């Protein structure tokens, strides 16, 4: 199970600039296989965020990453800050490994919007920023093998959204014929994943960077 010891946390922690604030804020690299929550679901034994660090009471995740998605997740004890960061004006960037050599046509479709299903209803995604990455990005190993290379080539792309429907990116890439194999969020606003590895927790003074427009 991914974990970060107290020594590493001290090295990663950024000093607080606001000693008067009663709230605390964090950024973490959510590992594969973890739920973006602290309260377990009934009869489901899944890893929870509380296993990564001794977070203060009333800490909440801002938004979510699915069980099988990884990367940057912001946490806070301030409900109002959670509301602000989830605003549709805040960009979220993802690195996505897809099955096959993605085509220019598929990339154009992703950029212009594709039709996906949301709760049984057809939905046209908003135009977004998307481009093909030159090779595999420098990310920590997932811990679980994606698939055997003999099954064919894969591609890495960047997708930046200002919306977040349920499993949206996975549905988008599947809609253009290139199913998602791995999904890692690398940026929220101007807050980046940097060199974090799975399970790392960093304390932040505030989320001002994420609110830059």
**Active site positions, annotated:** 66
Does residue 168 sit in helix, strand or coil? helix
Write b or e for each residue in 29-57: b if 16 or more Cβ atoms lie within 10 A of its Cβ, otherwise e: bbbbbbbbeeeeeeeeeebebeebbebee
Report whether 34 contacts 48 (CB < 8 A): yes
- How far apart CA 2 and CA 31 sit, in angstroms, is 7
- What residues does 75 pair with on adjacent strands? 26, 61
DSSP three-state, residue 97:
strand
Q: Contact, 36 vs 75, CB < 8 A?
A: no
Cβ atoms of 188 and 177 within 8 Å: the answer is: no
Residue with tokens 């977040």: 164
Closest by alpha carbon to 57, among 38, 71, 42?
Answer: 38
Q: What is the C-alpha to C-alpha distance for residues 84 and 71, in angstroms, rounded to an integer?
A: 20
- Rounded Cα–Cα distance for residues 93 and 188 (Å): 7
């Amino acid at each position: 199970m991914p974990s970060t010891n107290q020594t590493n946390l001290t090295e990663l922690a950024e000093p607080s600039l606001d000693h008067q604030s009663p709230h605390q804020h964090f950024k973490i690299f959510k590992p594969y296989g973890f739920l973006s929550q602290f309260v377990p679901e009934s009869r489901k034994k899944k890893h929870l965020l509380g296993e990564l660090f001794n977070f203060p009471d009333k800490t909440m995740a801002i938004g979510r990453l699915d069980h099988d998605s990884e990367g940057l997740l912001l946490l806070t004890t301030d409900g109002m800050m959670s509301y602000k960061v989830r605003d549709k004006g805040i960009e979220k960037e993802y690195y996505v490994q897809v099955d096959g050599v993605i085509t220019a046509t598929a990339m154009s479709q992703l950029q212009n919007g594709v039709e996906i299903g949301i709760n049984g209803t057809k939905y046209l995604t908003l135009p977004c920023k998307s481009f093909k990455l030159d090779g595999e990005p420098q990310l920590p190993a997932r811990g679980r093998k994606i698939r055997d290379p003999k099954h064919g080539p894969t591609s890495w792309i960047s997708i930046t959204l200002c919306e977040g429907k349920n499993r949206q990116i996975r549905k988008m890439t599947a809609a253009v014929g290139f199913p998602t194999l791995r999904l890692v969020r690398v940026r929220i606003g101007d807050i980046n994943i940097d060199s974090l590895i799975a399970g790392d927790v960093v304390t932040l003074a505030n989320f001002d960077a994420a609110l830059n427009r």
